[in-house]
Structure 1
Amino acid sequence: MPKRTDIKKILLIGSGPIIIGQACEFDYSGTQAARSLRAEGYEVILVNSNPATIMTDPVMADKIYLRPLTPESIMEIVEEERPDAVLPTMGGQTALNLADKLHQSGFWEKMGVEVIGVDIDAIHVTEDRQKFRDLMAEIGIDQANSRVAKSLLEAKEITQELGGIPIVIRPSFTLGGTGGGIVWNQEDFDRMVTRGLELSPVHEVLIEECVFGWKEFELELLRDSNDNVIIICSIENIDPMGVHTGDSVTVAPAQTLTDKQYQAMRDAAIRMMRSIGTFAGGCNVQFAINPKSGQMIAIEINPRVSRSSALASKATGYPIAKVAAKLAIGYTLDELTNDVTGTTSACFEPAIDYVVTKIPRFNFEKFEGVDETLTTQMKAVGEVMAIGRTFPESLQKAWQSLENGYAGLGADREEPPRTEIRDRLKKPYWDQTLQIRNALKLGASVEEVSDITKVDPWFLHQIKQLVDVEETIRAKTLAEMDAEFMRSVKQYGFSDIQISFLVSDDVTEKIVRDHRKELGVVPSFLVVDTCAGEFPAQTPYFYSS
């Protein structure tokens, strides 16, 4: 159906300050949504407490309020502006919680303001751990065994019922896994449960059996008011369950799913989205798969634009937030045009012919004494994304982008001592992919590394290929690298700095670059167009390879 004409003015709630777990991805989404709504002729009122954002630029909305994101300030703005609708899904969990509080108090109904883009009941179902668990059981979706605790004593009883430690703590209604984590020993139990209860706005924590080592996946979905659902992107975490997805190295599209597993996951995600309400908009669903038995369980569902939505949007070229905003005002997917191709419909699911790798960025050096072990509570302060024709290429490019002195996955320096590598592999750390490369370089087998890290062997074999190419380069001088071999090396993502370090003669990065150009091996620029070249694209963007 066409856009709604019964609403004229829309309130858009931002995400507030940039913090761990809620960063610039919501600024990206909010900016897209504001521009999309204004282009349709709606008056957009924006409220955000953070002036250091793009969305608070004067050109982004008709009126901007730099106010604290509290129920009181929202009430004041609504009473002054009298909007017809509020769109809270672009401001992360902060905006959803605000919208929920005002709904519970009856404020939206009193002021005649309609909540669009999400069902308020969906927020309760997805964030209330017990309600979510009950709903998943009702629709036949497996989950890890768990129960909600409202006190330390109750948490101890549930832990015993689940078979004891290790267990996972997941506080309700928090962002970025705040207050959560894996309890590995009895000494930490009381402290972690108490902290989780304190940080949960409703003072509840989910006590869940530990499925550490399972493979983790995400799907990004969009649905319109006619109940048409499309999958925008699948994302696979290289790090196993037990590491927050925001701290994990991730790959799009998923690389190790069989077609049968993917179709089952796709069906489950659509069933889950339909079960939490009838809203039109975006949704993020997370799953875990037992690598031995293939059993699939649901982890959680977010009825909003999420951190992964921004990644999926940039990875595929599909403007998720922009389309989600249009769906919220009444359009259906078949009525919207794909902005990139200019000819195809927005209901076409994106197809990509490349691999995207995301690596989180950490600043542990700025926090003396902090525990660097990665858990279910997010610690990353940002992330980089790289696109390549293959996983090894995109992984190397992502490592180059981290701006921490590396010119790729470690082939620009000597390996650290064996003891350091062994210690860094025992627990999940930010540099796990680097240490995997170092271990394979020093002779560890794929099976040994997989057993220690729980990383899928497919990824380890890909990194092993990089190690094998390194050894081949070491056996050559720069002059012995002909055009065919140089092109092959570049297809694996090796930088000129890495090549200068690896070749047997003493050369600089500039000498390598000059030699490469003489051989005619230069980057080509390939298209991100949402359709893998099937249709002409009017506004694509490009990546080098």
Structure 2
Amino acid sequence: DKASDYLAVIDITPYFSRSSALASKASGLPAARLSAMAAAGMTLDEIKTSAGEPISGYKENPQHIAVRMPKWDFEKLKGSRDLLDIQKKSTGEAIGIGKTYREALQKAAASLDKSGLDDDALSGKTAEQLSAALRMPSSKRHFIIYRLLKMGADVSRICEITGIDSFFINEMKELALLDEQLCAFRGGTLPESLLVQAKKNGFTDRYIAKAINSTEHAIRSRRAELKLFAGIGDVNGYGQHNSGFFYCSYNIQSGLPQPQSEKKKLVVLASGYCAIGQGTEYDNSVVNACQAFRELGFEAIVINCAPGAASTDAGVADKLYIEPLDAEHILNICQAEKPYGIIAQFAGENAPRLAAELASAGARVVDSYASRLSFAENYALFAKTAQKLNIPVYPSAEAQGLAGALKAADETGCPAIASISTSCGEKTVKIVYSRQDLETAFKTMLDDENCTAAISRFYPHATAAQADVLSDGENIFIPAVSEHIELAGIHSGDSAAVIPSATIPQKHIDAIRRYSALIAKELGVCGLCSLHYSIAGDTVYLAAAELYASRSVPIAAKVCGINMAKAAAAIIAGKINGVKFDMGSLACSSTGYCGVKEAVFPFGSFPEVDPALGPEMRSTGSVLGLADSFGLAFFRAQEAAQASIPLSGRVLISVNNEDKQEALIAANAFKQMGFEVLATSGTHRWLKENGVDSTYVYKLDEGRPNILDEIINGKIDIIINTPATTQGLNDDSYIRKAAIKNKVFYMTTMAAAIAAVKGINAVRGTTHFIAKPLHEYHGSNQ
């Protein structure tokens, strides 16, 4: 307590935590490794730092400051309340390291994909509105404070409202004042002294360019003329070029001398902070690729800003730079290290954008996607390329504004998937069943007339499949084709998936392999790519292309017994050295077992959010279940992701009209297994008409005891609830929310329900689980 100086211990964390990871990266000490040494019996005198000194004599070397900023994803969780409290709601975090607090703060903000602390989403808000918003702690609090300070707000008043120490507010005030000086030169040329001051205070080239109405390239060129470059700092503080942990700062006049290496240097871009759609799966590929590059004789240099990522651990790469993953900071490192090239394909969804920016700035991106970026993002080019290769694709179109989107929807037909974006970065993805649905989707956007929309035809009962492809530009290797358990319309990252495919006919598997080979060769893919397909009727459609190492790569690698990221690194290394990689040497383990991937969702921290799945990704990670049968593998995946599927009890079934036929199959199966089946009015009536008995249960407005009462009282063990239309999403959301709040096992698709039936049957038919190490599944391939 600041007023009384009273100090109290409120918690003890007896394990490696997020704060441990932060302290480890900020100090350069590999805390987890040191802890393991101590656990193995070594004394503090025996454990040495990278400088060779006993850890017992370690003293903090405050030559730099580290600032951590959490990453929140409230905008991707529709219906969530942006309010910070004792429940953790961040999905990830980024760290910024600098010589001063201001510089480190700005770098942390840049690491969260923001050019600076001035959030454009707050433009147009009055000081009164911002002050009112500041009273409740939210994910935008720092950015609200900064905007108020630019408006001239009093520091003491902000301290009074927020309880934040005046040091931090005063530091932000200094940045706001400097920001105003930059804006005064809008349309003009910045004085050298002001540009130097701005860079030392952490303002990015992008932010400065926006402030003076210039371009990032122009600011970069101006810095080059002035020889204004960032120096290299040693995070350990020992001043050693081989310490392994580094950062960049414009407050360092001349950085550490980077010795010339006989090895070729490769800068490997990591994926950054964890967020919805950007989990640790990408980081897994970074770690494996770095290990492969080092084994093949290269010097691997990783750039990342996530303190808890495995790729930032000691020993993964030869050097680690804790820096934002944007063009400016990556080029700063290249300026100092003089690498042979940059590897971008393991940076997750940011890979194509970063590769294009770096290539346009003159950097050598070894696995360059710059020329192929438009293929994945331009619907017209995507369709044209597929047509050239005689690969079926769904009808699709792009349009500007609501009128254009309605016309595009008329051309493609409904139902369709509409991806709508605004100029300020707001984005939503919806399934629209009619023109009215599309109009409603547009009305939710801030600037509906200036929105751009990509409309693609959608076949609701199509089967989705995915192929992770290794390619050398001519030949390909696909370890297996995964089948999504949820039908098309559910984002691939949110859908459960099975390897090998459980129900897709071999002729369609052959078509997927053939189409994948054509695409990889046409685009000259070197390394990894992921191609998504949809099977409707008897036709295989190419649905999407990810021209980088996708989040499904670690899953395919674990199931098939082949390290795909290492193989991709070997292919790239062969390209660099002019030695063609032997694609024929790649082989998978036997397929006498099954792997089921299940998504992990953050809904437990957001009880107000409807967990119904759709085309917009909301999972933060994934787990894998391995077993000798599909049912058992699915059951194990559910155990890891959510909770064990109850093996007996009462199951509530409440489904939309489109799912009634499958609900009949599921209800019959649950009855045969001894479950009591409960159903709401429409489902109850359908089951009765088809000879399946069920207990009628009231909806919320029909009487008592209703569904909510039964859930709260613990009288329901499994919930199957499938929404259909926008109306359905609103009507039944209370059922799904109650399931999460009361920890009842729930499913929102019939595909998952049918899979759960198989899982229960498999477990009931197994007298005991036999845990096997991974190499036993892979057999002779290891």
Normalised by the size of structure 1, how large is the TM-score? 0.73
Q: Distance between the aligned counterparts of 1:310 and 1:434, measured in 2?
A: 32
Q: Say yes or no: does 1:130 pair with 2:380.
A: yes
Q: Say yes or no: does 1:54 pair with 2:302.
A: no
Mark the CA change 1:133 to 1:197 in structure 2 (over 3 Å): closer, same or farther. Answer: farther
2:639 counterpart SS class: helix
Whether the 8 Å contact between 1:373 and 1:427 is mirrored in structure 2 is no
**Partner of residue 600 from structure 2, selected from 361, 369, 374:** 361
2:597 counterpart SS class: strand
2:385 counterpart SS class: helix
Percent identical across equivalent pairs? 22
Q: Give 1:64's aligned residue.
A: 320
1:126 counterpart SS class: helix
Mark the CA change 1:171 to 1:283 in structure 2 (over 3 Å): closer, same or farther. Answer: farther
Matched residue type, 1:415: R
Mark the CA change 1:180 to 1:197 in structure 2 (over 3 Å): closer, same or farther. Answer: farther
Q: Give 2:558's aligned residue.
A: 314
Q: Give 1:422's aligned residue.
A: 654
Whether the 8 Å contact between 2:480 and 2:560 is mirrored in structure 1 is yes
Q: Any residues of structure 2 matched to 1:270-281 within 5 Å, and which?
A: 270-276=517-523, 278-281=524-527
**Partner of residue 417 from structure 2, selected from 156, 168, 187:** 168
1:271 counterpart SS class: helix
Whether the 8 Å contact between 2:409 and 2:416 is mirrored in structure 1 is yes
Mark the CA change 1:7 to 1:155 in structure 2 (over 3 Å): closer, same or farther. Answer: farther
Shift of 1:169: 1.6
Whether the 8 Å contact between 1:144 and 1:297 is mirrored in structure 2 is yes
Whether the 8 Å contact between 1:169 and 1:180 is mirrored in structure 2 is yes
Q: Say yes or no: does 1:260 pair with 2:507.
A: yes
Mark the CA change 1:427 to 1:457 in structure 2 (over 3 Å): closer, same or farther. Answer: closer
Q: Any residues of structure 2 matched to 1:17-36 within 5 Å, and which?
A: 17-36=273-292
Whether the 8 Å contact between 1:169 and 1:193 is mirrored in structure 2 is no
Supply the RMSD in Å over aligned alpha carbons: 3.9
Q: Say yes or no: does 1:286 pair with 2:528.
A: no
Mark the CA change 1:350 to 1:142 in structure 2 (over 3 Å): closer, same or farther. Answer: farther
Shift of 1:525: 3.2
Q: Distance between the aligned counterparts of 1:448 and 1:328, measured in 2?
A: 60
**Partner of residue 223 from structure 1, selected from 465, 471, 474:** 471
2:534 counterpart SS class: strand
Matched residue type, 1:63: K
Q: Distance between the aligned counterparts of 1:197 and 1:267, measured in 2?
A: 43
Q: Any residues of structure 2 matched to 1:33-432 within 5 Å, and which?
A: 33-104=289-360, 106-108=361-363, 113=364, 115-163=365-413, 165-170=414-419, 179-184=428-433, 186=435, 188-190=437-439, 192-193=441-442, 204-224=452-472, 227-276=474-523, 278-290=524-536, 293-330=537-574, 335=582, 346-402=585-641, 404=642, 406-407=643-644, 409-412=645-648, 414-417=649-652, 421-423=653-655
1:107 counterpart SS class: coil
Which has the higher mean CA deviation after the structures are superposed, 326-335 or 249-258? 326-335
Q: Which has the higher contact order (CA 8 A, sep 6+)?
A: 1
Q: Give 1:487's aligned residue.
A: none
Q: Give 2:99's aligned residue.
A: none
Whether the 8 Å contact between 1:436 and 1:460 is mirrored in structure 2 is no
Q: Distance between the aligned counterparts of 1:160 and 1:25, measured in 2?
A: 38
> Which string of whole-angstrom CA distances, capped at 9 and with x for unpartnered residues, describes residues 210-261 of structure 1?
2122000011111125x22111121001111010011111111111122222
Whether the 8 Å contact between 1:425 and 1:435 is mirrored in structure 2 is no
1:523 counterpart SS class: coil
Q: Distance between the aligned counterparts of 1:315 and 1:494, measured in 2?
A: 24
Matched residue type, 1:271: L
Q: Distance between the aligned counterparts of 1:54 and 1:362, measured in 2?
A: 21
Whether the 8 Å contact between 1:289 and 1:296 is mirrored in structure 2 is yes
Q: Distance between the aligned counterparts of 2:422 and 2:550, measured in 1?
A: 14
Whether the 8 Å contact between 1:427 and 1:453 is mirrored in structure 2 is no
2:650 counterpart SS class: coil
Q: Distance between the aligned counterparts of 2:457 and 2:525, measured in 1?
A: 32
Q: Say yes or no: does 1:493 pair with 2:760.
A: no
Q: Any residues of structure 2 matched to 1:515-530 within 5 Å, and which?
A: 523=770, 525=772, 528=775
Q: Distance between the aligned counterparts of 2:620 and 2:752, measured in 1?
A: 25
Matched residue type, 2:550: S
> Which string of whole-angstrom CA distances, capped at 9 and with x for unpartnered residues, describes residues 154-207 of structure 1?
1121112233x4321236999xx96322124555524635778989xx974321
Which has the higher mean CA deviation after the structures are superposed, 435-444 or 373-382? 435-444
Matched residue type, 2:632: E
Whether the 8 Å contact between 2:659 and 2:750 is mirrored in structure 1 is no
Which has the higher mean CA deviation after the structures are superposed, 85-94 or 202-211? 202-211
Normalised by the size of structure 2, how large is the TM-score? 0.52
Mark the CA change 1:198 to 1:303 in structure 2 (over 3 Å): closer, same or farther. Answer: farther
Q: Which has the larger radius of gyration?
A: 2
Mark the CA change 1:257 to 1:325 in structure 2 (over 3 Å): closer, same or farther. Answer: same
Q: Distance between the aligned counterparts of 1:93 and 1:135, measured in 2?
A: 22
Whether the 8 Å contact between 2:670 and 2:757 is mirrored in structure 1 is no
Mark the CA change 1:187 to 1:437 in structure 2 (over 3 Å): closer, same or farther. Answer: farther
> Which string of whole-angstrom CA distances, capped at 9 and with x for unpartnered residues, describes residues 126-163 of structure 1?
22222111111111111111111233321121112233
Q: Distance between the aligned counterparts of 1:423 and 1:28, measured in 2?
A: 38
Whether the 8 Å contact between 1:118 and 1:279 is mirrored in structure 2 is no
Q: Distance between the aligned counterparts of 1:279 and 1:34, measured in 2?
A: 19
Q: Distance between the aligned counterparts of 2:640 and 2:401, measured in 1?
A: 44
> Which string of whole-angstrom CA distances, capped at 9 and with x for unpartnered residues, describes residues 421-469 of structure 1?
21489789xxxx9999758855769x9999x8999999877655566x5
Whether the 8 Å contact between 1:12 and 1:88 is mirrored in structure 2 is yes
Mark the CA change 1:41 to 1:206 in structure 2 (over 3 Å): closer, same or farther. Answer: same
Mark the CA change 1:381 to 1:266 in structure 2 (over 3 Å): closer, same or farther. Answer: same
Shift of 1:394: 0.8
Q: Give 2:267's aligned residue.
A: 11
Whether the 8 Å contact between 1:159 and 1:167 is mirrored in structure 2 is yes
Gapped regions of structure 1 (runs ≥ 5): 337-344, 470-491, 497-515, 541-545
User: May I ask how many residue pairs the two structures share in their alignment?
Assistant: 449
Mark the CA change 1:169 to 1:364 in structure 2 (over 3 Å): closer, same or farther. Answer: same
Q: Distance between the aligned counterparts of 1:11 and 1:425, measured in 2?
A: 53
Shift of 1:352: 1.9
Whether the 8 Å contact between 2:397 and 2:456 is mirrored in structure 1 is yes
Mark the CA change 1:186 to 1:103 in structure 2 (over 3 Å): closer, same or farther. Answer: same
Gapped regions of structure 2 (runs ≥ 5): 1-260, 678-686, 693-719, 725-747
2:622 counterpart SS class: strand
Whether the 8 Å contact between 1:315 and 1:356 is mirrored in structure 2 is yes
Whether the 8 Å contact between 1:284 and 1:301 is mirrored in structure 2 is yes
Mark the CA change 1:195 to 1:83 in structure 2 (over 3 Å): closer, same or farther. Answer: farther
1:274 counterpart SS class: helix
> Which string of whole-angstrom CA distances, capped at 9 and with x for unpartnered residues, describes residues 332-363 of structure 1?
78648xxxxxxxx6333554211111121222
Q: Give 2:101's aligned residue.
A: none
